[in-house]
A and B are shown apart, each in its own frame.
Chain A
Amino acid sequence: MAGTIFRLLLTNTTSAHKNITTIRSINTGTVFYAARKGTRAKARAKKIQVEVTKVGFIPHNQRGRKVVKTVVNKHFSDEHKAIPIDDVYPMKYYKWVVYTAEDAVKAHQETHHPTMFNAPDAFIFAKIEFNMTGIKQTRFMDSFTRLSLLPHPFPREEERTILAFCKGAELIKELQDAGATVAGGTDIIKKIQDGQIKLFEYDYVVAHPNILTDLVPIRGLMKKRFPNVRSGTLDPNLKELVKKFAGGIQYKVIKDEAQPSFGSVEVPVGRLNMEPKQVAENIGKLLKDVQAVRPKRDGLFVTRCLLVSPPSTEQLMIDPFVFVDRTLSKEVQDDSDDEDEPVAATA
């Protein structure tokens, strides 16, 4: 179109003034020729968002250098080691001894006996290692926090404050028995609004659905703490919830910075003065709880499980696949064909 206008002007001018050839061009805006080489490529490159990877602190005299980092694979493998044939042998040349959970607890009880370390009520920690690869090989899970109630509780030093909302005097009393620090209904809501009860003092806030409408006025004050189904704080079965939040064990599976496919956690699962069978049941429940956030792909999720008990530095390996399956069953895998990324659950 511009071309035609251009030509028309030219012809008009030449017809009117035959000796003078004046060319007037109009700036039309639309371009009928290709862009200069590199312009469109430049615009395309600008559109691509570069992923910014967090680099830790680098001292001033080491900046600008190309850092060559060799990443050690933290995933455990002793496939190349031999199986022991003698009854007495040094452990470093052979495959790790795999204990049952009960035997491992008994072994720790030996070293912590009053005649040896003299700590018969020490904690037993379960060190669990994970393969954090997601559905795609190049995408990994993030660190996640979970809370699980173990069947055999044991005394821990930390204390948790729970605020429970519900309607009904009997329910309130039940909840107070179950372990809520403060339980109540509309009277507590008023106290919060007045300022007598401070929300930040409480670790967890749980509520019954029937009182939800009354909680809405103080939603702004509660912000993150507002009970919702997704985080597990809103449930008709309040008694179970209070027990879970009061006595449950919170643990955070942290993925390794250098190797994102590796994640680990150290969870207290009991004390050495408990029965080994009870500790084994605790470990079983913990492993089953972790399976809920498992990515839907082939391969192992839990790679290794060790039992550790300070002040001893011993790490006794147990077989976690006694309690859980090694790989996902076929049906569960096929269910999630549309899922793009694994969603980490928070409880």
Chain B
Amino acid sequence: MVEKDESGPGGISEEEAAQYDRQIRLWGLEAQKRLRASRVLLVGLRGLGAEVAKNLILAGVRGLTLLDHQQVSQEDTRAQFLIPVGSLGRNRAEASLERAQNLNPMVDVKADPESVESKSQEFFTQFDAVCLTCCSRESMVRINQICHKNGIKFFTGDVFGYHGYMFADLGDHEFVEEKPKVAKVTTGVEDGPEAKRARLDPAETTMVKKVSGESPGGIWGGQTPKNQR
């Protein structure tokens, strides 16, 4: 795994700035640094798990632990693009490790062949976020309670053919919402001579910080659906 250089301007290395450029332009440098500092646990490496792993690794999290006690089956070879040909019978997490790591050497990717049900409470507290797939209801409830108690972001989801679901319990958290900037009569400070006329620039937006007061139980999609103006 490539060491990250924290000493670059902005707190990330030039290599990272170049690689993450297109996403930094979307969610900002601050968000990228937070991703870069977070450790995530991913349980279940079937098709859905592989997708989630790919997305998290490409985003540039600090570390991702792939946890799966199952072995690679025939079905897995069709839907899971991290597992190389000829891996039938291998542990799924371990079989996925190499391809996953190659997606982004700057992420610390680990494989754990144990069952999630055998993990103690302490195990989960090393993570900032936990994502479960292919888990039994009992497991989901148990782990959700552990996460909620410890302020760990909790996600779970699964797919069934053309159907699927995702659930998130983010506890009390802060988030930002994008709002349009309201037109102001400028006094020529920002712009050129024409600035004196009031100009509504709908493309200008501002990020507004909000705090969620969500009670345990989580919310759909991980965001408040309320449309606040």
Please determine whether chains A and B interact with each other in the same assembly.
no
